[in-house]
A and B are shown apart, each in its own frame.
Chain A
Amino acid sequence: MTLYILRRVGITVLMVFIVVTLAFFLVALMPNDVTSAILGPDATREARDALREEMGLNDPALVRYFSFIGGLIQGDLGTSYVSRQPVVTQVLDRMPVTLTLSIGGIILTTVLGVVLGVIAATRGGWVDSAIRGSAGVVQAIPNFWLAVLLVLVFAVNLKLLPASGWTPLTEDPMEFFRAATLPLLAIGLAATAAVVRQARVAMLDVQARDYMQTLRATGLPEWRVIWIHGLRNASIPVLTVIGLQFVALFGGAVLIEQVFALPGVGSLVVASVNVGDMPMILGVVVALSVVILLMNLLIDILYGVLNPKARLA
């Protein structure tokens, strides 16, 4: 098992490195001239050149890359073009909000999705059709549209939950849950639907396997056959989907944070794109890729726990 984990860690580090490199060069090769965005359209040529020199933009790309990597190792993600503050502080400031949304979302998604999927697969009949049908429709709903709808219904009309704003859990748990409910729902529902479908297919596949027949022939109670043996085997392919949905949840966070005016990393990125603040964008990309790859590592480990063939063969 240790060997398996070490292998996965190694690949994770490699992947972070590749992603960061690609992102950097994408940014470095951009044709846009950021200096005019910062100084305004009336800036003189000299002023712009001076700024370029000061920002180090005239150095060759490779040099900038290595200094970037150097900074990265020390925890320095560069300086924002706009705020002239270190990128790293702003990103870390806003990470908790986004992390809460995505991790909360993935927990909700996993539990609800797997349970519903297994029920759909084992009950069959109208229960199955109903669950499949709902999952199909829910998956077609854009999460940002759903967010607006939820605000309309619960905040504007029913006035039950706030339309915007964020309270950290540590400050006031009650307010936290009130503020987090709608965003979590908006973010998690479509992902849940995807997990339901995958869990259902995985469970149907497991039901057809020989060992399920053996277990039943042994006389074990049906609940053990389904929820202990069946679920464990079905979880293995579902884990892959959960990993993918986690990534998607971050994408969702970018949009949802706009709707609910949440001070997360998503809204930070949107603001940065509009002004062309590349270091900030790059910083967010780096931070997100680290989080995602760490989550993938966790999922890989879980996969190894559930699937002995993966960790032993």
Chain B
Amino acid sequence: MTRARMTQASPTAAPMPQAGTTQGDKKTRARRSDNALARLLRRPGAVVALAFLVLLTFAVIFADVVAPINPLTQDLARARELPSAAHWLGTDGFGRDIYSRLIHGGGATLGGAALAAIVAMAIGIPLGMLGGYFRGWVDTVVSRFADVFQALPTIVILMAVIGAFGNNNTVAMVALGVAMCEGFIRLARAMTLQVRRELYVDAASVAGITPASILVRHVFPNIRGPLLVQLSITAGAALLIQAGLGFLGLGTPPPAPSWGGMIDEASDLIYLHPWLLVPTGVIMILSILSFNVLGDALASDRPGGMLAGVRLPWMKPLPIAEQHVANSETLPADPKAVVSVRDLSVSFTDRSSTFAVVQNVSFDVMPGEALGIVGESGCGKSVTAKALLGLIAPGGKITGGQVVINGADVVGLKNRELRKVRGTTIALVSQEPMVALDPTFTIGAQLRESIAHHTGRKGRELNDRALELLRLVGMPDPAQAAASYTFQVSGGMAQRAAIALALTGEPDVLVADEPTTALDVTVQAEILDLLRRLREELGLAVIIVTHDLGVIADLCDRAVVMYAGQVIEQGSVDTLLTTPTHPYTRALLASMPSNAIPGLPLDAIPGAVPAPRDWPEGCRFAPRCAFATDACRSAPVPIVVQHGGLSRCIRVDEVLAASQVRTKERNIA
């Protein structure tokens, strides 16, 4: 009976993606229908900025309607007046209506800025994309071209152009566009270089798509976001420069109105009519601000993504996702243990809700023991391990439980107290060795810094101790390693350096978060040897987080298996890996290629790990489990002592029986 189920579970049949397997499936589908504009309009700042610019543009285009008073008409009798009914913004030194001059002058200023921005974009984007895509000499020429314009202040360039070609706004604005194209070139080039490395560009290339098609269909859509931001910023900057030219009497020659020119007039009249400064400044500031705000809004736009945002105090509290919490099976913390975790729970908050990622996790680590925390991605193992040091990613918090390290609970400690525990009692080695150390300091410098902090040694003693530690972790040439930067050494050496750093405070427990996942298998073997040696020589307890059951077998005494935020099995490695009591552990072992018979399909587990929002009410593994019954699905399953270890399953007897049958079958086969 069970055997039939097992073959049924064999995934030669296509496993259907579970409803809600992908994060917020329905929600993302609905969101897909909105586009960048709709997203933009949800931000109040962007709405105001956009509205202002649109209104201003209309006013400037229809200036004769909006501001019927002739901007050139002088009325010396009514010069230097403050705002009144007849002149909404007052009059300038020649009695001309300020409001009218602002609106009519906007044409030259705004129009000029728009022209410049468009020219900059039209030249810069294609050049940048070409340079970034084809590289080589094309890139060199394009980059040098951009560099030239970066080497001089734009205004000076323009002044040279005006000096040579005369005072003409259009010519000046086109020249401005050319001068400002370098911003677009730089950005388009950088983004194209980045996108070009993406595998989907390679895939298109292999599929036989032409470079032109690739540029248009694959590269451009992926870079247009930042380019739009650049356009907004460039428009604002062009506005500023155009006004600057006007201030100098260039661009639009007086008496035609221009915003810059009006500021110049204000400067002349500063003793007699300082009010003139106000309307001119306000309209300039508002316009440039609008461009910048728009640019910012576009820059922080992320389609379909979720940000763990900071919640301001006046915002409404978020709904807590409904999640059944299994009954806590806590025994009190074990005083003999160096680390004792009880009912640890961690939750994360994003824009829409708060949800648990780790629930009611409990385990002990004895002095000198090696404990493995194993599971697939999304099970919460990394979050659990880092929580032991109080390192929670932004947006997350420990919502319950204790972490007792050497007798003291560290949950809820202030950072200042946590710092005393970190490094001295418990230390961390993380996954990517090449980025684990500060790239701007040598390995030796960082070791010395930590040694000084923890032991108060000084001078040459620091260096001696650093070299000693590097020798301890098996560096072939400690002096050379100490003088090197992380990027100069291999992955294995970098991980040894990271381990050395973790040991500077002489901790009792070392937490290693997937320390070998990024390393070659032969290097992994060496690092595991090192950890074993450190356990023997220093009496160090090790908590290793991994997805590789083989690593657990190699290094650990006991193991904790996690699935969907919970501990589902716990026990000594000898029994857990040979006769697992939980169907998940069993299925995981059975699906490994090393345990497979070549020629037959692998015993793959159907379905996928549920995301934190979509944890089922009952047993979280039930939807994928070959042994699941209605009882499994209806209520949360507690973790209880069974067959020498802990297991969160009510069907353990059937699991063990099935394993015996299977072993016999394999022996016959």
Contacts and interface: CB of A to CB of B under 8 A. Distances in A.
B236 A270 contact: no
A90 to B, nearest CB: 16
Contacts of A27: 160, 163-164
A273 B167 CA distance: 9
Given A26-B164, A124-B310, A247 B150 contact: yes
B277 A148 contact: yes
Given A217-B423, A281-B160, A289 B263 contact: no
B487 interface: yes
A270 B148 contact: no
B148 A22 contact: yes
Given A217-B389, A219-B420, A307-B440, A15 B151 contact: yes
Contact of B159 (A224, A273, A313): A273
A140 B435 contact: no
A29 B164 contact: yes
Nearest to A124: B310
Given A32-B164, A140-B288, A308-B439, A145 B155 contact: no
B519 to A, nearest CB: 15
A273 B163 contact: yes
B320 to A, nearest CB: 23
Contacts of B244: 142, 144, 251, 254-255
A306 to B, nearest CB: 6
B454 A219 contact: yes
B144 A18 contact: yes
Interface stretch (A69-77, A149-157, A167-175, A177-185): A149-157
A5 interface: no
Contacts of B427: 217-218
A220 interface: yes
A213 B437 CA distance: 9
Nearest to B241: A251
A211 B662 CA distance: 47
Nearest to A214: B436
Interface residues of A, number: 78
Given A144-B263, A217-B423, A221-B419, A288 B248 contact: no
Contact of A254 (B156, B164, B454): B156
A23 B249 CA distance: 22
Nearest to A278: B163
Interface size class of B (residues with CB under 8 A): 35 or more
Contacts of A282: 160
Interface stretch (B216-224, B496-504, B526-534, B637-645): B496-504
B391 A217 contact: yes
A140 B424 contact: no
A18 B148 CA distance: 7
Contacts of B271: 156
B247 interface: yes
Interface in B54-71: none
A142 B155 CA distance: 14
A285 interface: yes
Interface string A274-288: 101110011011001
Given A148-B270, A211-B436, A136 B310 contact: no
Interface stretch (B14-22, B86-94, B279-287): B279-287
A92 interface: no
Nearest to A259: B267
Interface string A248-265: 111100110011000000
A141 interface: yes
Contacts of B570: none
A40 interface: no
Interface string A132-149: 000011011110110011
Interface in A277-313: 277-278, 281-282, 284-285, 288-289, 292-293, 296, 306-309, 312-313
A127 to B, nearest CB: 12
Contacts of B247: 144, 255, 258
Interface stretch (B289-297, B338-346, B458-466): B289-297
A281 B428 CA distance: 62
A233 interface: yes
A219 B162 contact: no
B274 interface: yes
Contacts of B504: 218
B415 interface: yes
Contacts of A18: 144, 148
Nearest to A222: B415
Nearest to B267: A148
A165 B350 CA distance: 57
Nearest to B435: A210
Nearest to A221: B419
B428 A247 contact: no
B153 A233 contact: no
Nearest to B422: A219
A31 interface: yes
A245 to B, nearest CB: 11
B130 to A, nearest CB: 20
B151 A276 contact: no
Contacts of B241: 251
B160 A233 contact: no
Interface in B430-477: 430, 432, 435-441, 449-450, 453-454
Given A18-B144, A217-B422, 5 more contacts: A144-B260, A145-B281, A217-B389, A219-B505, A251-B154
24 contacts: A16-B151, A27-B163, A32-B164, A140-B236, A142-B263, A145-B281, A151-B270, A152-B274, A209-B435, A210-B436, A217-B389, A218-B423, A218-B501, A218-B505, A219-B454, A233-B438, A247-B153, A249-B153, A255-B244, A269-B156, A276-B163, A284-B156, A285-B152, A296-B151
Interface of A: 15-16, 18-19, 22-23, 26-27, 29-32, 124-125, 136-137, 139-142, 144-145, 148-149, 151-152, 156, 209-211, 213-222, 224, 229, 232-233, 236, 244, 247-251, 254-255, 258-259, 269-270, 272-274, 276-278, 281-282, 284-285, 288-289, 292-293, 296, 306-309, 312-313
Nearest first, the 3 closest Cβ-Cβ pairs linking A and B are: A219-B423, A251-B153, A30-B164
